[in-house]
Amino acid sequence: MHYYFITGTSAGLGKAIAEALLQREDVFVYGISRTSSISHTHYKHVFADLSNPSQLSSIFELFKASFTNQDSLYLINNAGMIDPIKYLGDFTAEEILLLMQVNLISPIQLMNAFLKIPQEVKKKIVINVSSGAASKVTDGWSLYGSSKAALDHASLHAAKEMELKSAANIHIFSVAPGVVDTLMQAKIRAVSKHSFSMVDRFIDLHETNALDTPEHVAQKYLKILDVPQEFPKVVFSAREL
């Protein structure tokens, strides 16, 4: 059986990945988000707000199920937030903590718990959904970009550690999806130039239909999940596929 644990399944890329997986046989998907928008016999919604550390315990409980050496387990840390978009010096302490909790701390905590699963399973795969912002300097995106850069680096460390442990059945990736037509893009387009000088570029991407669809990008992530051995790099972009 293939068990998938996916955060941020209420909309966008997370929902598209979950729905694509549910078209397959021998699949069970646990969708983790604040709202439920998928109904399927092989889907269980787990209500959790990743900005609240105490709510992670319900996800940790999922990892305590009885798995066998015929089962494959997958963790997709997809949930994330980009707002508020503004210059460093304009944030409140609460805004900084909230974004880092959702984008960085929660994914690392979930990876940590996922890798602790004691049973010998067929394979474990982690995909952290990164961003091109992790390697670029964009005004107004200091928190978002730094959170994704740190997530990339945590993934590199974890992958190296699995290599040193000779855990050949464990694969860890941090994959940027490219520019996808999601609610996050709508939030970006609504920001003023005062806080984000490049806003016109993102408005133009939308108006010229240059944004990729969540469904198309989801298929790229499924390919990585299906044949992880074909992807030697830990950090890369889905645009390369």
30 is catalytic: no
Q: How far apart are the first and last CA of the chain?
A: 27
- Radius of gyration (C-alpha) of the chain in whole angstroms: 18
- Which candidate in 3, 43, 144, 221 is catalytic? 144
Answer for the pair 172, 234: CB distance below 8 angstroms, yes or no.
Answer: yes
Three-class HEC string of the chain = CEEEEEECCCCHHHHHHHHHHCCCCCEEEEEEECCCCCCCCCEEEEECCCCCHHHHHHHHHHCCCCCCCCCEEEEEECCCCCCCCCCCCCCCHHHHHHHHHHHHHHHHHHHHHHHCCCCCCCEEEEEEECCHHHHCCCCCCHHHHHHHHHHHHHHHHHHHHHHHCCCCCEEEEEEECCCECCHHHHHHHCCCCCCCCCHHHHHHHHHCCCCECHHHHHHHHHHHHHCHHHCCCCEEEHHHC
Catalytic residues, by residue number, are 144
